[in-house]
Chain A
Amino acid sequence: MYRYVVKRVLFLIPTILGVVFIILLTMNFTPGDPARALLGESAPQADVDAMNHELGYDLPFTEKYVNYVKNMVVHQDFGVSYFTKQSVFDEVWPRYIVTIKLAFLGVFLAAALGIPLGIYAAVRQYSLWDTIPSLMAFLLAAVPAFVLGMVFLFYFSLKLNWLPSYGMDTWKNYVMPALAISIPPAAMNLRFTKSSMLESIRQDYVRTARAKGASERVVIWKHALKNALLPVITNIGLSLGSLIAGAVVAEKLFSIPGIGSLIVDRISYKDEPVIIAGTILIAICFTIVMLIVDLIYAWIDPRIRAKYARTKG
């Protein structure tokens, strides 16, 4: 287990380096240069060239990449925004926290809504507890988060006037965005938990447990659920991706000062450093979550534990 953890944690480093590489490579296709963007259209060409040289823009791509990683790791320096001329890190970091908070709230809600309903739907298959939530989940799989958000805005803010439509001051502000982004992944969790649980219930070990006289509660919660949850955990980790997509849209829709709305706003200003830094920071968070999911998986699944225990020494 220890060896697995070390190996998996060390794998973070090449992954993050690769992420930075792909993003910088993509951005390399952007027309225009940084000095022109910083100095403005009227600046003389000589100044622009001098500044581009100073910023290292005229270096080959590999050297630019190495410099970027060095600045990022050693100084937490992500460059200067073309738009506000401020340090990108200072600008991005507080918004990063907002987005992460929203996305994690979404992950939690999606699991809390989807998994219990999925378990119950499987245990009571073909009853109303199965058909109604399953039908809802099926229909909600076809509704993007931003449409849900708009429907919530329309009913809860405009019609009923229960919840504020913008800002981030009180807990009430979080209700609509968090629900809007967590319902689509909750529907996915429900479908996933249900099918995984149905498969688990039909296994021989569940029949064995019943045969030896275990109570229904023990059979479901201890024998069936423990095995059914493994694929569900992977699914929760993967759903963070769609939650981040949801968060970006929710930030735009509910005017939340997060990283997604920052990136979307800065796209029209061609503010490349902010977009690069925002993308990299979110991707790093994402890789860490995937790491945690993998570790939990290994911790729960005795097969993986056994594999690494055996190869030890």
Chain B
Amino acid sequence: METVAAVQFKKQSQTKEVWRRFRKSKGAVAGLLMLSVIVFLLVFADFIAPYAQATQQDLAIKLQGPSFGHILGTDAFGRDLFARIVHGGRTSLSIAVLATISSCILGSALGAIAGYFGGKVDSLIMRTLDIFMSIPDILFTMAVVFALGAGFINLLLALTLAYFTNYVRLVRSQVLNLAELDYVEAARAGGSGSTRIIITHILPNAMGVIIVNTTLNVAKIILYESTLSFLGLGMPPPAPEWGLLLADAREYMRVAPYLMFFPAMAIVLCATSVNLIGDGLRDALDPHLKS
């Protein structure tokens, strides 16, 4: 019992230590604040700007610039741009987060298996991965969306298949390093099975690197997802997505440049704040990197 308490105490202090270092970085804290505001707006989107405002057309008020009634103006169909950005962000951000989690789980599992078992299993996984990586992400995603049709689940699947490869390589190299260490040897001598060793002894120690990579990946997927919806490969209309808002704004660039400016700012702010947090976490989790 004592040991459990000691482990818990240590875990807590480690988290505290990371948080203490994270807090010291001004950029990381700014990123966290910015992201908190964005997430708050997206979670309470229905109270701040009802979904109807984002989809209901009213041609009488089309292409109006920012005003008190519509703080970011209206688009070519009289829909409130603020409502469209907030509701679009909900879709974009939830797809980005879910796709990051699913690609992390799939990739980490494969990477752990490849790294731990080595030999034939490893070369089978890694050669298949080489083939996967030879198809540029965008083309593979387009092929998946084409074959299965646009929609939330299919988009999630396409993004997962495009991004899991990073994790396989990352986790594999971590496992290769960690599997050599004495405590893994000790666990094996104590009779722990492979699955148990991977899950309770190896993966927790690779967690720091995985967390940093995952955070930075969220930003990449936000940008990537906006690119897909810009190309018309995202969610089916009338769902307002950030990329789609920009694609629509292209026609009205001359008369209503704010239609382009605000969604672009939303993408950039969101991705920047995630990047700031990712960099802060990297410095906080691995003080050796920052010297």
Residues of A participating in the B interface, judged by any CB pair closer than 8 Å: 14-16, 18-19, 21-23, 26-30, 138-139, 141-147, 150-151, 153-154, 158, 202, 240-241, 244-245, 248-249, 252-253, 260, 263-264, 267-268, 272, 275-276, 278-279, 282-283, 286-287, 290
Contact = CB atoms under 8 A, between A and B. Distances in A.
24 contacts: A15-B131, A16-B134, A18-B131, A22-B132, A30-B146, A139-B268, A142-B223, A143-B223, A144-B267, A146-B227, A146-B243, A147-B246, A150-B246, A153-B253, A154-B253, A158-B253, A245-B137, A249-B230, A260-B138, A264-B142, A272-B146, A279-B140, A283-B134, A283-B136
A24 B51 CA distance: 40
B230 A23 contact: no
A287 B139 contact: no
A202 B137 CA distance: 36
A106 to B, nearest CB: 13
Contacts of B230: 144, 146, 249, 252
A268 B149 CA distance: 10
Complex A-B, nearest 7 residue pairs according to Cβ-Cβ distance, in ascending order: A18-B131, A142-B271, A245-B138, A142-B272, A29-B147, A144-B223, A244-B136
Given A139-B272, A147-B246, A260-B138, 11 more contacts: A15-B130, A18-B130, A23-B140, A26-B143, A142-B223, A142-B275, A144-B226, A146-B226, A151-B264, A245-B138, A286-B134
B85 interface: no
Contact of A145 (B134, B147, B227): B227
B246 A245 contact: no
B257 interface: yes
Interface string B218-255: 01000110110011110000000001001001100110
A236 B157 CA distance: 28
Nearest to B146: A267
Interface residues of B, number: 43
Contacts of B275: 138, 141-142
Given A143-B268, A150-B250, A29 B148 contact: yes
B211 interface: no
A252 B254 contact: no
A146 B246 contact: yes
Contacts of A283: 134-136, 139
A103 B134 CA distance: 16
B271 A267 contact: no
B67 interface: no
A150 B253 contact: yes
The secondary-structure label for the interface of chain A is helix
Contacts of A244: 136, 138-139
A27 B135 contact: no
A142 B268 CA distance: 5
Nearest to B279: A138
Contacts of B257: 154
B128 interface: yes
B144 interface: yes
Nearest to A18: B131
Contacts of B253: 150, 153-154, 158
A252 B231 contact: yes
A22 B227 contact: no
A279 B227 contact: no
Contact of B147 (A30, A252, A278, A287): A30
A115 to B, nearest CB: 21
Contact of A248 (B128, B231, B272): B231
Contact of B139 (A14, A145, A278): A278
B141 to A, nearest CB: 9
B285 to A, nearest CB: 16
Contacts of A158: 253-254
A194 B223 CA distance: 24
A46 to B, nearest CB: 28
Interface string B182-218: 0000000000000000000000000000000000000
Contacts of B146: 27, 30, 267, 272, 275
Which of A21, A143, A245, A278 is most buried by chain B, counting CB atoms within 10 A of its CB?
Answer: A245
A26 B264 contact: no
Which of B127, B138, B224 is most buried by chain A, counting CB atoms within 10 A of its CB?
Answer: B138
A310 B226 CA distance: 50
Contacts of A29: 147-148
B198 to A, nearest CB: 27
Contacts of A282: 136, 139
B260 interface: yes
Nearest to A16: B134
A307 to B, nearest CB: 18
Nearest to A281: B139
B184 to A, nearest CB: 27
A141 B279 CA distance: 12
Given A15-B131, A29-B147, A279-B135, A150 B267 contact: no
A151 to B, nearest CB: 8
A273 B268 CA distance: 36
A190 B129 CA distance: 27
Interface string B75-106: 00000000000000000000000000000000
Contacts of A263: 139, 142
Given A15-B131, A29-B148, A142 B219 contact: yes
A253 B132 CA distance: 28
A260 B228 CA distance: 12
B142 A267 contact: yes
